[in-house]
Structure 1
Amino acid sequence: MILAIVLGVIGAIVLIIGIIALFKSIVIIPETSFAIIQRLGKFNRIIERGIHLIIPFIDKVAVKDNSKEKVFDFPAQSVITRDNATIKVDTVVYLKIVDPKLYAYGAERPIVAIEMLTATTLRNLFGELELDESLTSREIINAKLTRILDEASDNWGIKVNRVEIQNITPPKEVQEAMIRQMQAERDKRARILEAEGIKQSLVLKALGEKESTILSAEAKKRQIVLDAEAKKEKFVLEAQGQKQAIDMINSANLNPNYLQYKAIEQIKELANGKATKIIIPPNLAEVSKVIATGSEIFESTKDK
């Protein structure tokens, strides 16, 4: 009876151990991940995505990670430029694990090693530059920093894709000077724009006055031409009217006595100083007679 109980307990223990061993012998690796398998404390193999079997209690998963690109935002570092200005530099490093074995055994803490190397490299690079250069050479610093970190991290199974400098914070007095300089630049640009606006306004005003003067002169010119055309037309019409009147008189065969009478009337008006027209008889030979008759009339009027 006791033996049966003991055997039952042993069987249960073996079953439990078997179940545990079964679970421990199955390792599932997700996509883009990997694991380092050690056997009795020694590197055995690298397993990647999928289901894998290992020997329970002999094999173990020493390192488990993924090969996706990782982003590390390291704390800001204080660096000194060549002209002894102290600034703070904040960097972001983009990297990925390319060799799991080197990553597991190349350095004790490879990410910490990357952080320390980043800080050291920043101090060296900024120590070669003056403050003004460091503020305007961000792309150059990024490229140099990426190259140095990538070369150094090869022994750790890490590929540094790029390093970006997020912020460069100069001392407070330098920031205040930069603010004053930017304000001065803005004021300068505002004055230039204002001057350009005034200049443009004056140019447009001058062009407008010029155009107005030209239009006024052209209008006066057209008016003078129209007046001259009107006078010319008037003279032509008057001449044509006088010609037509003379032609009508010449063609009418008027009574000579009537013409002498009209001539005497006109001469009389001449004597009064009110005459504006003179009728010339069609027969110029009779002019002397008309004048003689007119003279007699004038004398008689004068005697009265």
Structure 2
Amino acid sequence: MDFFVLLIIFIIIVVIAAKAVKILRPYEKAVVERLGKYQRTVESGLTVVIPFIEHLRRVDLREQVVDVPPQEVITKDNTVVIVDCVIFYEVVDPFNAVYNVVNFYQAITKLAQTNLRNIVGDLELDETLTSREMINTHLREVLDEATDKWGTRVVRVEIQRIEPPKDIVDAMSKQMKAERMKRASILEAEGYKQSEIKRAEGDKQAAILESEGQAEAIKKVAEANKYQEIAIAEGEAQANLTVYNSIHQGNPTNELIAIKYLESLEKIADGNSTKIFLPAEMSNILGSVGAIAELFNDKDANKKSKPKEANNVKIPVVPTPKLDSEE
């Protein structure tokens, strides 16, 4: 009998100890109520409460997510879009989180839907589709201010989907396609324009370079011709000077000059259609030529007369006729 009583007492002690000793994890805090009244807030770790008198309510301090269901929202330009978002929050004050809101999940969901309709309702469709970051920031500020008395802090808000009606999507797709085709045409025209400009500049530069090359070539050719003419003139002058000096050093006679003159005249008169007009001064020259001819005839006559001296025969010398200057 005593053993049974001791066993019951031991069981009661174990139950009371289990009720009195509580262990809170590192991410938890708790609110202790004594006979239905707030007593204290306890941190994580080992906590002792009075069994059957004090009650412990745990609060999770980790960041949590609320998925706001999709809803239809009318934009400023009367377009219906379907919008949904997710909210990330964390509890910073366990007392307010326990005593200031009954169902935090439902409260934050309704609050997010209401403010999302207000924010999107002030924007046009194009702004709604391109202003996700602005909507996120504005909605987070509104929710954080509203949930401050609930002992929570809204960390961030993210828009998951903004879906316009199917006909609007088709119209936007056609508009985007037309805009892209327009940009492509503009870019193609701009590219053609730039290519033509570059080509014209290239042709211009090529023409300039070609003109400069031709001018330089003409300049070089002119300089070469100049040097050639100078060299030829200097050569002719040197040749004339050499001939002149040679003639004077050789001390030519009138007869030699006359013979050279006749040789030159023969070359000049060579040809069937050549006509020569002799000036008046030619009579004096031809007289000298006649004298030279008589001289040669006398020499020939003396040579021939030597073997014929026995017969005493004299060969007559024919005088050279003088040409009329008018002929």
Q: What interval of TM-score do these two structures reach, taking the shorter chain for normalisation? A: 0.7 to 0.9
State the one-letter code of the partner of 1:37.
Answer: V
Residues 1:90 and 1:232: Cα distance change in structure 2 (over 3 Å): same
CA distance in 2, matches of 1:20, 1:292: 174
State whether residues 26 and 44 of structure 2, in contact with CA within 8 Å, keep that contact through their aligned partners in structure 1. Answer: yes
User: Is the 1:264–1:290 contact (alpha carbons within 8 Å) kept by the matching residues of 2?
Assistant: no
Is 1:89 aligned to 2:83, yes or no?
yes
Structure 1 position 216 matched with structure 2 position 214: no
Whether contact under 8 Å (1:106, 1:155) holds in the other structure is yes
Equivalent positions of 1:272-283 (< 5 A) are 272=270
* d(CA) in 2 for partners of 1:125, 1:286: 128
Unaligned runs of 5+ residues in structure 1 are 1-5, 275-284, 300-304
Q: Answer yes or no: is the 8 Å Cα contact 1:81–1:130 preserved in 2.
A: yes
Structure 2: runs of 5 or more not aligned: 273-280, 291-319
Query: For residue 49 of structure 2, what is the amino acid of its counterpart?
Result: I
Contact 2:22/2:48, CA 8 A, preserved across alignment: yes
Deviation for aligned residue 1:107: 1.3
Mapping 1:99-178, distance limit 5 Å: 99-178=93-172
Task: Say which SS state the counterpart of residue 75 (structure 1) adopts.
Answer: strand
CA deviation vs aligned residue, 1:126-149 (integer Å, no higher than 9, x gap): 333333343344344333322322
The number of residues matched between the two structures is 282
| Residue 267 of structure 2: aligned partner | 269
Distance 1:38 1:242, change over 3 A: same
Q: Which moved more, 1:209-218 or 1:138-147?
A: 138-147
Identity in percent: 40
Cα 1:94–1:270 shift into 2, 3 Å: same
Per the TM alignment, residue 204 of structure 1 is displaced from its structure 2 partner at its CA by 1.6
Of 196, 201, 207, the residue aligned with 2:195 is: 201
Q: Contact (CA 8 Å) 1:263, 1:290: kept in 2 or not?
A: no
Cα distance between partner residues in 2 of 1:298 and 1:100: 157
The C-alpha deviation readout for 1:130-187, integer Å capped at 9, x for no partner, is 3334334434433332232222212211222332323211111111111111111111
Q: Which residues in structure 2 correspond to 1:187-266 (within 5 Å)?
A: 187-252=181-246, 253-254=249-250, 255-256=252-253, 257-266=255-264
TM-fit CA distance, 1:118: 0.8
Matched residues in 2 for 1:44 and 1:65: separation?
19
The residue type equivalent to 2:5 in the other structure is: I
CA contact (8 A) 1:63 1:104 kept: no
User: Which whole-Å CA distance do the structure 2 matches of 1:59 and 1:291 have between them?
Assistant: 171
Corresponding residue to 2:56 among 33, 37, 61? 61
Rounded Cα–Cα distance in structure 2 between residues aligned with 1:298 and 1:48: 159
CA contact (8 A) 2:68 2:113 kept: no
For the 8 Å contact 2:21–2:46, the answer to whether it is kept is yes
1:45 to 40, 43, 47: 40
Q: Which has the larger radius of gyration?
A: 2
Q: Distance in 2 between matches of 1:81 and 1:290?
A: 129
RMSD of aligned Cα (Å)? 2.9
Of 5, 9, 12, which residue of structure 1 is paired with 2:4? 9
